[in-house]
Amino acid sequence: MSRLNVPPEAGRPEPTPRFPELEARYGALVPMDSGMQSRVYAAQAGEVVVKVYRNQRGDHAREAENLRRAGMGDWVVDVVQLDGIEALIMRRFPGRPLRTEDVPHALPSLRAAMDTLHRDTRGTVDLAKVEQRLRRFRSALSAFPLEDLFAAVEGPLEAGHLVHAASFCHLDLWHDNILISPAGEVLLIDWTKAGYDDPLRDLALLKTGTLDLLPPDDALSAALSFLPGAERATLARYRAYIAMTTLHDLYWFLMNEPYEFEAQRARKVPRARHVLARLPGH
């Protein structure tokens, strides 16, 4: 999850860096977007965007590979190391991040994208990582009344109900990572976190990060339209990942943007409980 807002006390904005080698190749770079892990620039001399990563750890090559695995390799123009940084060059998409009013129009494209993406399976879900995350969340969030959310994950996990085949997942499906064009085309961006996991975790992330722009009942109805069947076991597993994703989001805000935590808790916890009350447990 990346965020663009900064606390009032953050001070003056960072100066815009210059990239002489990149600009010699692609023309002047104009800032478009900035997150915790990267910055995105539009190249004035061509129909490309340049994504510059803050840390040099191969994220540019990893994201390009994830795009290719997702069947989106034609969006990748180049992967470069210039000016002392790592950058991914992509074709520019004529769109903007999803807004509330866009969600109903984007649903068919999103369903098709998720269906295609999740057909790529490999092994089973690493439940040891799920356990590790839960321990981390419990340690950080112990002061808050969230026991029902923890129980919604821990019960199915301990009973073995979260054992499932792993699919290729985006794993960061919040609305700023979903672009829509004036013509209604939809493009998923920011594939740095993509990997093999439970597809219902991916769909839970889509619900909490994007579909929850809609009113609660509408968001749940839209979310259920993505599920591969309405069997009790599927609904119960999805229920567990809604709770898990909500805990993850609260943990993220507490660790990264504590000034936003209370507002996010007031918004996200009732949404999660709305789902828990309507879907069956195991």
**Tens digits of per-residue pLDDT, 122-178?**
999 999 999 999 999 999 999 999 999 999 999 999 999 999 999 999 999 999 999
Tell me what the mean pLDDT of segment 87-107 comes to: 96
In the chain, pLDDT over 70 holds for what percent of residues?
Answer: 94
CB 217 within 8 A of CB 92: no
- Please state the domain count of the chain: 2
Q: Please name the residue ranges forming H helices in the chain.
A: 20-26, 59-69, 103-117, 127-141, 147-159, 199-209, 216-224, 232-256, 261-278
Tell me what the mean pLDDT of segment 243-255 comes to: 98
Tell me what the mean pLDDT of segment 113-123 comes to: 97
**Residue 87's pLDDT band (boundaries 50, 70, 90)?**
very high
Establish if 198 belongs to a structural domain: yes
Identify the pLDDT of residue 12. 52
Residues 141 and 86 in one domain: no
Buried residues in 103-122 as b, exposed as e (16+ CB within 10 A):
beebeebbeebbeebbeeee
Identify the pLDDT of residue 16. 62
Q: What whole-number distance in Å separates Cα of residue 53 and Cα of residue 17?
A: 12
Domain residue limits at 215: 96-278
With 0-12 CB in 10 A as exposed, 13-18 as middle and 19+ as buried, what is 11?
Answer: exposed
Structural domain ending residue among the three candidates 58, 76, 91 = 91
Residues 147 and 254 in one domain: yes
Helix (H) or strand (E) holding 82: strand 76-82
Q: What whole-number distance in Å separates Cα of residue 190 and Cα of residue 178?
A: 9
With 0-12 CB in 10 A as exposed, 13-18 as middle and 19+ as buried, what is 10?
Answer: exposed
CATH of the domain at 271: 3.90.1200.10
**Residue 14's pLDDT band (boundaries 50, 70, 90)?**
low
CATH of the domain at 23: 3.30.200.20
Mark residue 240 as left, alpha or beta (left: phi above 0; alpha: psi -120 to 50; beta: remaining).
alpha
Tell me the pLDDT tens digit for each residue of 197-218.
Answer: 999 999 999 999 999 999 999 9
For residue 15, is pLDDT > 70?
no
Residues 127 and 222 in one domain: yes
Residues 158 and 234 in one domain: yes
- State the average pLDDT for the chain: 93
Tell me what the mean pLDDT of segment 250-275 comes to: 97
Residues 157 and 80 in one domain: no
Token pair of 36, please?
A: 């915790």
Tell me what the mean pLDDT of segment 78-90 comes to: 95
Establish if 34 belongs to a structural domain: yes
Identify the pLDDT of residue 60. 96
CB 51 within 8 A of CB 57: no
pTM, entire model = 0.92
3-state SS class at 72: coil
For residue 8, is pLDDT > 80?
no
Establish if 273 belongs to a structural domain: yes
